[in-house]
Structure formats: structure tokens, C-alpha cells
Amino acid sequence: MSETSQAAAHDEHAPNVKAYMMVFGALAVLTVVTVAVSYLHLSIVPAVIVAMVIAAFKAGLVASIFMHLKGEKALIYGLLGITVFCLLFLYTLPLADFMMNTDRATHTPVVVEESHVP
């Protein structure tokens, strides 16, 4: 392998320190935003939704830059899309259960009394 092709291969796989530092800064800012949102005292469902949106954005940053998924092929993006769809579906199930079985004013579980007919 010639020196120019080795240099080109090395430059292609060299870490992009500037991008890493930008992602670090964004993660730090989003962590501060997460803590700030916790002081808003939102009810449980909106608080979970806001927290999941912030966490998803942070995970996207980590996956695209630190895991080097930014320049991958379309197949990878398709598989990631399916994964995100399944993840969102699995997050909606407990939230829907919580919303249906909780008194929204007191955030206490709703107890349904069973009638005992002889």
C-alpha cells in the first residue's frame, strides 16, 4: 500500500475531535435542560413525554457521532427506524395503562369494586 493511500485511509478513520466536543457540549446543555424541566412540576404524563423527547435527542447525538452511524448506508437507517418505531410503541403501552388506570387529579390508582352477586 502506498503512503498516500495509507494517509487517506488514516484520515478517513481519524477521530473528529471538534464533533466530539460539540456533542459533549450539546449533551451537557441538554442535561441542564432536563434538570430545569424537572423544576416545572409537570404532571406525570407530560413530564415523561418531555423527558423521553430530550433523552431520544441525546441518544441520537450519541449514536450518530460516537457510534459513527452518521455516514452509514440506507439499510442501517431503515433498521434503526424500525427499532425506533418499536421502542415508541413499547413506551406508549405503559403510558396508556397509567392514563387509563389513574385518577388525574390525585395521581392515585383507580380501584374498581367488583360486585358479588350470589
Q: Are 63 and 69 in contact (CB under 8 A)?
A: yes
Alpha carbon 59 to chain centroid distance?
A: 5
Give the pTM. 0.57
> Is the torsion defined by CA of 26, 11, 70, 52 positive or negative?
negative
DSSP string over 71-104: T--HHHHHHHHHHHHHHHHHHHHHHHHHHHTEET
pLDDT in tens, 87-117: 888 888 887 887 777 776 666 776 666 666 6
